[in-house]
Amino acid sequence: MGNVYFVGAGSGDPELLTLKGKRVLESADVIIYDRLVHPVLLYLAKDSARFIYSGKYPKNHVLKQKNINQLLLEEGRKNQIVVRLKGGDPGIFGRVGEEISILQSEGIGYEIIPGVTAASVASSYSGIPLTHRAYSSKVTLATAHRQAGEIIDFKDLTDNGTMCLYMGVEKVQSTQKKLLEQDVSPQLPVAIVEWGSLGRQRTVAATVQTLVKAIEEHQIQNPSLIILGDVVSCRNGADWFEQLPLFGHKILLIDTEKIDFEIIISYTQKGADVYAIQVGKNRDQRFDEVHQQYLKDHYFDEIIYLNEELTTMYKKQWDILNKKFV
């Protein structure tokens, strides 16, 4: 049998992948990746690796969990390296417990490689420390989707503490209701971070009282993290990430040659939201489905042609179109 590696890709910024995760990803024969994994990480894969998309859209899973479990069994039984590439950290709301139990039942070897979870990423890239000697001596990671009858002591957890709510946007009204019912201060600072650590990141400041209104007014959607606690007051205007020179730029890189991962991160290091596509008859066709899935969810308003011939060709087409419509 082979071995299955559960690799945390980190949240958003592709450079948040650990060195160990990178090493395993580069040696994988099969990569089963989630929607929240930045697909440019697949450019690290060897040429013979197979890609399998496992989806995980809210309320519309491309592969249901039982199908993913069965897929892990089928691929794990073969003499190959299987990487289950998950966004954030596999062990934090990543269902890794369910997936390793199915492997254990058949004696299939596995390893878990932690990743940087969304709470650390979204807070750091928004200029908010999760702990602070003056404000917070504890941190709670929770999901707004609770089991029937489960009660969270919001009052105790937010008193001199920080609370990070994963997947909290859909349940924000009931969450706000419980916060106020438990006498959490209506003025307790709150931050909602959407698409944390990507160039499209948005951080919206609110309070418990204005939480629902802020999400509705700014049309915040998942993936988002809600941070509750006095540490939110440490954010003062634009944070370090938002001040990077290319922050907010949505850039599509296009080339006829395979695009090097180092070129991609040369843009993300400056704060840009970047995706890369190889085009032409010699393109790596494994990425056709990857591109289709990703571009269905995201748009880019700047295009950079890395190949000089492409630049000339498309510039000519652009000039012709301009003359035609002038």
Q: What are phi and psi of 170, to 5 degrees?
A: -65, -30
Tell which residue, 303, 293, 248, 246, has the closest CA to residue 38.
Answer: 293
Residue 34 near residue 87 (C-beta atoms within 8 A): yes
Q: What are phi and psi of 315, to 5 degrees?
A: -65, -40
DSSP character for 234? G
Q: What Rg, from alpha-carbon coordinates, does the chain have?
A: 22
**How many CB atoms are closer than 10 A to CB 242?**
17
Retrieve residue 196's tokens: 């944390």
- 34 in catalytic set: yes
- 167 in catalytic set: yes
Q: What are phi and psi of 287, to 5 degrees?
A: -85, -5
- 56 in catalytic set: yes
Retrieve residue 38's tokens: 């930045």
- The one-letter amino acid code at 201 reads Q
d(CA 175, CA 168): 8
From the list 13, 86, 167, 239, the catalytic residue is 167
From the list 56, 86, 230, 255, the catalytic residue is 56
- 225 DSSP β-pair partners: 166, 193
Helix, strand, or coil (residue 252):
strand
Residue 75 near residue 51 (C-beta atoms within 8 A): no
d(CA 47, CA 37): 19
From the list 13, 34, 89, 230, the catalytic residue is 34
Tell which residue, 72, 54, 53, has the closest CA to residue 64.
Answer: 54
Classify residue 200 as left (phi > 0), alpha (psi -120 to 50) or beta.
Answer: alpha
Query: With the CA atoms of 264, 17, 25 and 295 taken in that order, what torsion angle do they form, in degrees rounded to the nearest 10?
Result: -50
d(CA 259, CA 9): 20
Pairing of strands 202-207, 189-194: antiparallel
Active site residues: 34, 56, 167
